[in-house]
Amino acid sequence: MASRGQMTGMRGVYLVAAELSKQGLIASPTSRSAMGADILVTDQLCSRAWSVQVKTNAKTHSFWLLNKKTQETVSPTHVYVLVNLITRRDGETEEYFVVPSGVVAQRLKHDKSKAETSEWWAIYREKIAEYKDRWDIFAK
């Protein structure tokens, strides 16, 4: 049985694939065990292609957890789509931040616990605010 976090992640992947399809692109989710790419995307003429990493939040909407390899996974054709699933009284909504991998790598924050027993990498919403709904990244 899938965990709540896995279901949130899977939901984000399919929501992003649907948004990419709205943009006239062909979006194919990969195997959930694929490293680095949750969706492979191409234009209708197959003249351009991208890999997309999706990170989805259902509760915390100010940052997304990433990993150390994020700094190494930089390519002009690798894009992060960071998703917030927001529940309101009047229903649910999503917000999307479409960010080139180079920007994510540059703005990634690395932190350690005070006891230095754990460490994490995160990208904060305020560092990528200008990339909200930037689906035009795929037109370049």
Q: 89-112: per-residue pLDDT in tens?
A: 887 899 999 999 999 999 999 887
Report how far apart, in Å, the C-alpha atoms of 130 and of each of 37, 50, 120 are. 23, 21, 24
At 63, is the pLDDT very low, low, confident or very high (cuts 50, 70, 90)? very high
Report how far apart, in Å, the C-alpha atoms of 41 and of each of 7, 27, 29, 54 are. 22, 5, 9, 13
Average pLDDT value for residue range 47-75: 92
pLDDT of 24 higher than 90: yes
How far, in Å, CA of 1 to CA of 93, rounded?
26
pLDDT score for 88: 80
| Terminal alpha carbon distance of the chain | 40
Q: What domains, with CATH codes, occur in the chain? A: 4-139 (3.40.1350.10)
pLDDT score for 7: 83
Contacts for 65-71: CB closer than 8 Å, 24+ residues apart: 65/120, 65/121, 65/122, 66/104, 66/108, 66/121, 66/122, 66/123, 67/121, 68/121, 69/36, 70/101, 70/104, 70/105, 70/108, 70/121, 71/105, 71/108, 71/121
Place of tokens 């790419």: 37
Secondary structure letter of residue 68 according to DSSP: G
Model pTM score: 0.91
Q: What are the pLDDT digits (tens) for 107-136?
A: 999 887 666 667 788 999 999 999 999 999
